[in-house]
Amino acid sequence: MNIPISYQWLKSHFDKEIPSPEEVSTLFMKHLCEVEGAEQKGDDTIFDLKIMPDRGHDLLAHRGIAHEVSVLAGVPMKEKAQKEISIAQVTPLRVAVENAKLCPRYMGRVIEGVRVTESPAWLRERLESVGQRSINNIVDITNYVMLELGQPMHAFDMGKLARTEDGAISLVVRPAEVGEQMMTLDNKDLSLISDTLVIADTKRVLAIAGVKGGKGAGVNEGTTAIVFEAANFDAVSTRKTSARVGIRTDSSRRFEHDISPALAGEAMSLATELLIEMCPDAKVGEVVDVLARPLKNYKVGIALSELNGILGTTLSDKEVKDILARLGFVYEVVDDPRTQVVVMAPTLVDKPYKFGASVLYDAPEAFDCASFTAYLWKEAGVAIPRMSVDQLVFGDEVILESAQPGDLIFSNSGTDNIYYESKEWMKGTKVPEGVDHVGLYLGDGKLIHASRYNKNGVALESVAESARFRNIVGVRRIAIPAEPRYVVTVPLERLDLRIKEDLAEEIGRVYGFDKIISAPLSDITFDARILKSYHYANVIRDTLVAQGFSEVFTYSFQNEGEFAVANPIAEDKGFLRPSLHQGLMKALELSRYNAPLLGLDEIKIFEIGKVYPGVMKEELSCGVGAYVAKSMKQSKREERTKEIFNEVRQAIEDVLGVKINDTQTSDAIHFNLGALLEKLPEPKSPAPFKAVSVRYEKSSAYPFMLRDIAMWAQDITQDEILAIIRTEGTDLLVRDRLFDVFTKEFDGVSKTSYAFNLVFQSPDRTLSDVEINEVMARITEKLSARGLEVR
Amino acid sequence: MEKTEEKGHLHPLTQVMREIVDSFTAMGFEVTDGPEVESEHYNFDALNVPKDHPARDMQDTFWVKDVPQTVLRTHTSAVQVHYMESNQPPFKIIVPGKVYRYEATDATHETQFHQIEGLVVGEGVNLAHLERILDEFFKRLYGADAKVRMRPSYFPFVEPGVEIDVSCVKCTGAGCNVCKQTGWIEVMGAGVVHPNVLQAGGIDPRKYRGIAFGVGVDRLVMQKYGIDDVRLLYAGDLRLVNQF
């Protein structure tokens, strides 16, 4: 998604000097994203940044971009002082969220005693600098916060919201009821369905969650009390709703990219601060915060050799730490992951069992067997799969007698869901013994595991005595490089950092991909085979070219066929071509018309490409078309056309060594090249190819004009005649062709008759008869002056 | 009967594609291909492009009628997982082919165009190797002065993902209207194959790593010859083809 970013707005995040707009642009291109434009607007520069989907979580915001400037230019950002907000007695607010998955967080706050006016100049300028219209101070605050933090916000006019019996505002985030109506802020009347998530009070729908507010509760000059909303809505649901109602907003686009629920809290604070600045007498209520799951940070680990292995660099430990520091990432160095796992495990004894426990949210308070092992390794910076069967396939096989602390022991206890193939890691890998339980080996014959059958969830016992491990199906070692790991606590808003490859990219881009020194790949033992279809297609192409045929590429989409497109780009392009026929016919017609300009007596073309003769049928076809342009009797033309096709068929058969079964119409022959390939041997060596060096010239869009000129000549060469014709013809003469020449005796004097076709065309205008007649007159004059008899 | 002894002409798309493919086969790559009508699985899911995700906006799609979850491939990358499923690493493949995108047509956009995809999978393959391979390729294509550079980008099927720029063919880096004064022309997307994609192909991402790159051929052809409208390439017009 492209967004406008104001340089001055970025600058306001810093006390110290930041690099100039040009320097910032260069830094971004090298280390962050494409700068598609940089426009001067007064003393500001507005960047047009192409933010890719993987950074849509944090970079559709000036603060996120400012943070990047800080990281890349090494300039610290201003410290933001937390302002104390005094809470007053206001109308009570209650919020209910019916579907936590669709709305992970909803924050609402009542603020009374507000005055809706024009925004202060600084705010209007900020908004206008990035093309946002100023509406009023309240609405502008919500837009400013979105553009600053990347968190969309909304404001309701509290006076227009329904009250409960006890005078409270009661908001609910729920699916719409079929047929419920809402008129949007910009007067679009919508009829809703149950897939649409809405914000509603006790009486009606107030807004389409994350997409658009309703007119009914919109803030205007009369508003004296508001409800601020800062919420988090599911990305997929928002995207689908936005498409369905046909409304795409800065808000919906940000939710579509998925943002962290953490941002809502910051947004609410910032919006409140700004409002108090503008309305110092406002009475600010408590924030009602419905947060489905606690905000937890992911941890991702990577070893130096893994990092350098991916990037092809030789970064040192110090260089990596410097970059992590620049990024402001909290991290720890785990010197020996395996030891950490083994040391940490016993500290979790007696933690309760929970089936399907989340490694992020439930640990370390509750575990199931596989979330326990996954959690321990994750904390040491090693990602292992979530499920026991996947962990089994993931690990390296070890025999029980050689088990080391940190190894995973798997069993089929016959009591839980038994898995016989992997679900996520190398999906479909068979595990014939079946597995339903996993534990961590601690050494000395002891293991630790989480099970519903243990007294208290996580228990430490001896392998030999554990009831759940009577039927051990395997022991696996987690293979990791024998070196420390950098285990990064991922900032909440960085939804893009989840696996070590993401970290490698992050560290690599800050280091600079331009600093990577290219290296040769040591010879891969790989015998490249020759692809039959590619090889023989080229052999046929070269044969056809030698026969005088030129290659065309035509369109796959047509107005008729057997295999239809569900969403054609145009009504007359609803089908995939069943054959090359229509395309070739069109091409022949076009070149028929242009034959004089091309200087061709015969139009000979071919195409090799895929055709679709039926639903889900795809074939490689070769089509050859011909048209005899030279003027002659129709019967002669038909004869010659037949001859052309016979010759070309023969030429191809000679080169390939097999007969081709082609279908023929009057102007073309086609054959199924894909089917033919089966009869052909495996190619031994590739078809040679030499590229041509060409100076392409754009064809004129204007019509050409034809003239013939014939003359008797003696004591002059054809070249000399052409020289005269071309000089007088000027650039307008684009082609000349000798079409007839013969010599005759006149009273003992030998005279030669020449007849030329002349083609005139201008690159920038339509020529007139008058103009060309003048040119012809000049040519005739000059030829006559040279002693030629122009007829 | 006058017979034209004149030779015919290969379309500039074929010429450039053969030149590119030949450069890579000379570097030991194997040519392969796949179907133009593809399942959603191979075109998107196996390539780590999630459903209902803004990443799908990067490639608007043609769907076929009456056959569920089936599309016209939007990129030659669709062939990657097919090949991985039936071939063990190490390998180096190059895939020329026609692709389709649902886009309004104009001078620089068509609903059908051609791409060439490259994929190298082996032990210890990395970004530095990618740069060397592409450097060698562009030197073969444009001459010994050609240089490449990598900068950050994003594609769901690679991580790290990069954009490849090549030094401007016209001004060799001095700055001109072709390269908009920057001295560089954006030519390719590339990167290290995402571990999810290797897994989808049945390859263990801890043992092997891959690098991949993809280039739009039509754009290269237009740049090389100064053809200003992509639609001219598909008009079946010998006024263009016969100049080659």
pLDDT in tens, A578-588: 999 999 999 99
* 3 state DSSP class of B223: helix
Q: Which of B21, B36, B73, B127 to mutate to test the interface with A (most CBs of A within 10 A)?
A: B127
The verdict on residue A506 lying in a domain is: no
CA distance B211 to B191: 6
Residue B51: its chain A contacts at CB < 8 A? 236
pLDDT at B2: 42
Strand locations in A418-464, DSSP E? Answer: 419-421, 430-435, 437-443, 446-450, 458-462
Which pLDDT band, with edges at 50, 70 and 90, does B5 fall under?
A: low
Q: What is the pLDDT of residues A678-708, one digit of tens each?
A: 999 999 888 888 887 788 888 898 999 999 9
The answer to whether A292 and A104 have CB atoms below 8 angstroms apart is: yes
**Confidence band (pLDDT; 50, 70, 90) for A714?**
confident
Length reported for chain A: 791
Checking if the pLDDT of B168 tops 90, the result is no
What is the pLDDT at residue A684? 87
In sequence order, what are the residues at sequence separation of 6 or more whose Cβ sits closer than 8 angstroms to the Cβ of residue B180?
A: none
* Domain encompassing residue A779: 705-790
Tell me what pLDDT residue A442 has. Answer: 97
CA distances from A372 to A184, A334, A489 (A): 49, 19, 19
Tell me what pLDDT residue A572 has: 95
Residue A258 within a domain: yes
pLDDT tens digits for range A457-505: 999 999 999 999 999 999 999 999 999 999 999 999 999 999 999 999 9
Within a domain: residue A722?
A: yes
Residue range A732-749: mean pLDDT, rounded: 90
CB pair distance less than 8 Å for A694 and B227 = no
A610 to B96: CB separation less than 8 angstroms, yes or no: no
Between B98, B128, B236, which is nearest A587 by CB? Answer: B236
A323 found inside a domain: no
Query: What is the number of structural domains in chain A?
Result: 5
Among A309, A524, A546, select the one facing B7 at the smallest CB separation. Answer: A546
pLDDT class for B3, splitting at 50, 70, 90? Answer: very low
CB contact at 8 A, A369 and A457? no
Residue B82, pLDDT > 80, answer yes
Pick the closest to residue A712 from A787, A628, A789, A775 (CA basis).
Answer: A789
Does residue B162 sit at the A interface (CB-CB below 8 Å)?
Answer: yes
**Cα distance between residue A11 and residue A77, in whole Å:** 9
Mean pLDDT of chain A: 95
What pLDDT shows up at residue A110? 97
pLDDT for position A49: 98
CATH number for position A12: 3.30.56.10
Residues A365 and A281 in one domain: no
Confidence class for position B1, pLDDT limits 50, 70, 90: very low
Q: Does one domain contain both A672 and A711?
A: no
B4/A600 CB distance under 8 A: yes
User: Which of A18-27's residues contact partners 24+ apart within 8 Å by CB, and which partners?
Assistant: A18/A69, A18/A73, A18/A75, A19/A69, A19/A73, A21/A45, A21/A47, A23/A73, A24/A69, A24/A73, A27/A69, A27/A72, A27/A73
Rounded CA separation B42/B48 (Å): 10
**Contacting B residues, span 89-108, partner chain A, CB-CB under 8 Å:** 90-92, 96, 98, 100, 102-105
Q: Which residue has the tokens 């799908």?
A: B56
Looking at residue A606, what is its pLDDT?
97
pLDDT of A692 reads 78
CATH of the domain at A271: 3.50.40.10
Cα atoms found within 13 Å of the Cα of residue A741, Cβ hemisphere only: 13
- Say if the Cβ atoms of B91 and A426 lie within 8 Å: no
Residues A146/A250, Cβ–Cβ less than 8 Å: yes
Q: Report residue B27 CA to chain centroid gap.
A: 17
Distance from CA of B77 to the nearest CA of A (A): 18
At A114, is the secondary structure helix, strand, or coil? coil
Same domain, A537 and A455: no
Q: Are residues A287 and A341 in the same domain?
A: no
pLDDT for res A524: 78
Q: Is the pLDDT of residue A609 over 60?
A: yes
**Between chains, do A618 and B30 touch, taking CB under 8 Å as contact?**
no
Parallel, antiparallel or unpaired: strands A485-489 and A299-303: antiparallel
Question: Which of these three, A291, A306, A321, is where a domain ends?
Answer: A291
Nearest residue in chain B measured CA to CA from A528: B30
3-state helix, strand, coil in chain A (%, to 5): 35, 25, 40
Residue type present at position A137:
N
Across the interface, do A689 and B19 touch by the CB < 8 Å criterion? yes
CB-CB contact of A561 with A612 (8 Å): yes
- The shortest CB-CB distance from A525 to any of B90, B149, B162 is to B90
Q: For A534-543, A613-622, B44-53, which range has the lowest pLDDT when averaged over its residues? A: B44-53
Residue at which a domain ends, from A22, A40, A73: A73
Contacting B residues, span 105-144, partner chain A, CB-CB under 8 Å: 105, 111-112, 120, 122, 124-133, 135
Q: Does A529 contact B237 at a Cβ distance shorter than 8 Å?
A: no
B225 touches chain A (CB under 8 A): yes
Same domain membership, residue A270 and residue A341: no
ipTM: 0.95
> Per the CB < 8 Å rule, is B236 touching A513?
no
Phi, psi of A419 (to 5 degrees): -105, 135
Closest Cα partner for A438 from A455, A423, A456, A416?
A416
Which residue among A502, A553, A604 places its CB closest to the CB of B234? A553
The two three-digit tokens of residue A165, written as one number: 């019996």
Q: Cβ B8–A698 below 8 Å, yes or no?
A: no
Rounded Cα distance, B42 and B47, in Å? 7
Please give the structure tokens belonging to residue B193: 């194959």
Q: Is B54 on the interface with A (CB under 8 A)?
A: yes
Residues A115 and A231 in one domain: yes
For residues A114 and A149, membership in a common domain is answered with yes
A307 belongs to a structural domain: no
Closest residue on chain A to B6 (Cα): A548
Among A32-36, A181-185, A739-743, the range of highest mean pLDDT: A32-36
Contact list in A for residue B154 (CB cut-off 8 A) is 52-55
Contact A552 B111 (CB under 8 A): no
Give φ, ψ of A341 to 5 degrees. Answer: -60, -45
Backbone φ/ψ region at A381: left (φ over 0), alpha (ψ -120 to 50), beta: left
> With contacts defined as CB-CB under 8 Å, which chain B residues touch A502?
159
Measured CA to CA, the distance from residue A562 to residue B58 in angstroms comes to 29
Residues A136 and A258 in one domain: yes
The answer as to whether A598 is a domain residue is yes
Among the candidates A256, A291, A326, a domain finishes at A291
In chain A, residues with a C-beta closer than 8 Å to the C-beta of B90 are 524-526
B4 pLDDT more than 60: no
Mutate to test the interface with A, among B65, B106, B222, B229 (most CBs of A within 10 A): B65
Q: Is the pLDDT of residue A194 over 90?
A: no
CA nearest B236: which of A613, A598, A686?
Answer: A598
**Does A281 lie in the same domain as A152?**
yes
CATH number at residue A450: 3.90.1720.10
Instruction: Give per-residue pLDDT as tens, A449-460.
Output: 999 999 999 999
Burial class, B204, CB count within 10 angstroms (exposed 0-12 / middle 13-18 / buried 19+): middle
B212 close contact with A: CB closer than 8 A: no
How many Cβ atoms are within 10 Å of A571's Cβ, its own excluded? 7
Beta strands in A346-395 (DSSP E): none
B202 vs B204: CA distance, rounded Å: 7
Which residues of chain A does B179 touch, with a Cβ-Cβ cutoff of 8 Å? none
Q: Kindly state whether residues A571 and A642 are assigned to the same domain.
A: yes
Alpha-carbon distance of A715 to A243, in angstroms, equals 80
Q: How far is CA B110 from the centre of its chain?
A: 15
A253 in the same domain as A112: yes
Helix (H, G, I), strand (E, B) or coil at B2: coil
Q: Is residue A315 in a domain? A: no
Helices (H), A216-258: 235-245, 250-256
- Shared-domain flag, residues A361 and A394: yes
Give contacts of B244 with chain A, Cβ < 8 Å.
692, 694, 696
Q: Is the pLDDT confidence value at B194 over 50?
A: yes
The reply to whether A692 falls in a domain is no
C-alpha to C-alpha distance for B187 and B213, rounded to whole angstroms = 10
**Of B127, B163, B239, which is closest to A312 when you measure between CB atoms?**
B127
Which CATH number does the domain housing residue A736 bear? 3.30.70.380
Q: Which residues of B fall within a CB distance of 8 Å from A594?
A: 237-239
CB contact under 8 A, A545 and B8: yes
> Beta partners for A5?
A47
Look at residue A617 in the predicted model and tell me its pLDDT: 96
Those residues with Cβ within 8 angstroms of residue A480's Cβ, 6 or more apart along the chain or in another chain: A303, A337, A338, A382
